[in-house]
Amino acid sequence: MNEIITISKEIHFTAGQAIMELGYLISAIFFIVGLKKLSHPETARAGNLWAAGGMLLAMLITLVFHRNDQGEAISNWFPLVFSLLLASVIGFYVSKKVKMTAMPQLVSFFNATGGAASAIIAFMEFGSIPAENMGLVLVSLLGVFIGAVSFTGSMVAYGKLDGKVGDFKSPAMTYLNLIFLALTLALIAFVVFNQSEYTSNILLYTILGISLIYGITFVMPIGGADMPVVISLLNSFTGIAAAMTGFLYDNNAMLLGGILVGSAGTILTILMCNAMNRSLLNVIIGGFGSSQQTTTEDGGTIKEISLSDAAVLLAYSNSVVIVPGYGLAVSQAQHAVHELDKLLEKKGVQLKYAIHPVAGRMPGHMNVLLAESDVPYNQLVEMDDINPEMENTDVTIIIGANDVVNPAAMQNPGSPIYGMPIIEAHKSKNIIVMKRGSGKGYAGIENPLFGNDKTRMLYGNAKDSLQRLIDEIKNL
C-alpha cells in the first residue's frame, strides 16, 4: 500500500513539474512576443501587456505547481500573494501618477529594485551551495556583484536625473573604478577556488560592500547627455543579475527573462554608444562624458524672432520639422506642440518630428512623450531618415533640444562631441529655437547653431510660447 502511495506521489510530482515547465515555456513565448512588439512605438503598449502577462503566468504557475525536493508544495501562500498584490498596487499607482518629466527617474528606480532583488537572492543562496559546486558558487557571487552595482548605480542615476546628485568628475575616478572592478573579480575568483566557511562568509560581505560602492563611483562621474546610455547599461546589468538567480534556482522562466532583458539592454547600449560616438569601455570604467573641454564660439550674433514673424513663417511654409528635446518634457508642452502640428497641417504644411536616439533623459523618451499627446507614429522620423530631408526643409523648430543638433559635432574636431551623429538642423532653410535662454545644453557645450545666420531664438517657456504661436497663426 505504501509503495502505491509513493508511486502516486511521484506521478503527481512529475506531472506537476511537466505542467510547470510547460507554463514557463509559454511565459517565455510571451516575453519574446512582448519584446518584439516593444521594437515599434505603435505596438509598444501591447508589448508591455504581453510581457506582463508572461510574468504573471510564471508566478502563478510557480505558486500552484512548485514542489521542493521532498515533494512538498508551497505552504506560505498568504505572504507571497499579499506581497505580490501590494507591490502591484503600488507600482500601478506610481506609474499612473508620475509626470512625463520624471519618467527617466522612475525607470532608474524600478531598475534599482530589480538589481537589489537579484543581489539579495544570490546573497541568501550562497550559504546553501556546496563548496564543490564551483559553477553555482561563481554564479551566486556574480549575481551579488552585478545586482549590487545595478542597485546603487541606478539609485545614483535616479538622483542625478532628479537634480539631487551632482557630477563628481575627476581623472582619479577612472583609476579608482578600475581598482574596484579588478579587486572584486579577484575576490570572486579566490572564493571560487579557495573556499572555507569562515573565509567565504567574510569575503562575501566584502564583495557585496565593494560592489555597492563601485556602483556609486561608476555612475557618479557620468553626466550630461550620456545618461540615456547609462540607464540602458544598468538595465542590462539587472537582466544579467536576474539570469544569474534563474540559474541558481534552475528556473527557466527567470533565466530566459533575464537573458532577454540583459541582451536587449546590451544591444541598445551599443546602439546608443554608436549614436553618440562613444566607447562602451569608457562607460564601464566611468570615464564616459567626463570631458571638460568646450567648443569655441564662432562669433555669430544671436537674433530673436517675434511671435507674429514666426507665425507667418510657419503658416506659409511647405515643410516643417520639429526637433523635440528635454525642454519639451520639462514644460509639459507635448499637447501644445501636437495642436500646432494639426493646425499647420490644415494649412497644407507637411510636418514631421525628428527623433534623435538619445534625446531626453532615457532611451525612447521623446517617442513616449509624443505618444502621450497622440501624435501619429508615422510623423516620428528617426535621425538617419530625416537628415537627407533637412536641406529641403523650410523651417526647423527646435524645442528644448541642444546637444543633439549641435553642428560642432560635425565641424569642430576640438569638441568633446565631435563625430557624434546629430540631427542636421543647421542645413534647413530657417531655424527657430525655442528655449528659456541661450545657455549651454545638458552636456555643458556651447552651441554655434544659436549664432547661425538662419537661426532665430524664440525665448520663453515652450508650452507658453507654443500656445501664443498657435493663437497668432489662428489670427492670420
pLDDT at position 225 = 58
Statement to judge: residues 88 and 116 lie in one domain: no
Domain assignment present for residue 327? The answer is: yes
Asked which of 290, 322, 351 is the last residue of a domain, the reply is 290
Statement to judge: residues 277 and 370 lie in one domain: no
DSSP secondary structure of 242-296: HHHHHHHHT-HHHHHHHHHHHHHHHHHHHHHHHHTT--HHHHHTT-TT-----PP
At residue 152's C-alpha, the angle toward residues 47 and 116, to 5°, is 60
Statement to judge: residues 238 and 116 lie in one domain: yes
Domain assignment present for residue 302? The answer is: no
Statement to judge: residues 340 and 425 lie in one domain: yes
Domain assignment present for residue 311? The answer is: yes
Per the confidence metrics, is the pTM higher than 0.95? no
**Beta pairing partners, 380:** 353
pLDDT at position 284 = 57
Domain of 398? 307-474
Domain assignment present for residue 295? The answer is: no
Statement to judge: residues 325 and 229 lie in one domain: no
State the catalytic residue, choosing from 250, 298, 403, 453.
403
Asked which of 97, 113, 138 is the last residue of a domain, the reply is 97
Statement to judge: residues 331 and 395 lie in one domain: yes
| Rounded Cα distance, 361 and 341, in Å | 24
pLDDT at position 295 = 38
Asked which of 67, 97, 127 is the last residue of a domain, the reply is 97
Statement to judge: residues 369 and 285 lie in one domain: no
**403 an active-site residue?**
yes
**Beta pairing partners, 354:** 381
Statement to judge: residues 452 and 396 lie in one domain: yes
pLDDT at position 442 = 47
Statement to judge: residues 131 and 255 lie in one domain: yes
Domain assignment present for residue 298? The answer is: no
| Rounded Cα distance, 284 and 378, in Å | 36
Domain assignment present for residue 383? The answer is: yes
What CATH number did the domain enclosing 333 receive? 3.40.50.1220
Report the number of distinct structural domains present in the chain: 3
Statement to judge: residues 122 and 245 lie in one domain: yes
Statement to judge: residues 270 and 321 lie in one domain: no
Which positions of the chain have pLDDT values less than 70? 1-13, 68-71, 100-101, 167, 169, 195, 197-198, 223-225, 276-278, 281-300, 437-445
Give the residue among 404, 388, 311 at the shortest CA–CA distance from 349.
311
Q: What cell numbers appear for 424 in the block? A: 542636421
Statement to judge: residues 192 and 341 lie in one domain: no
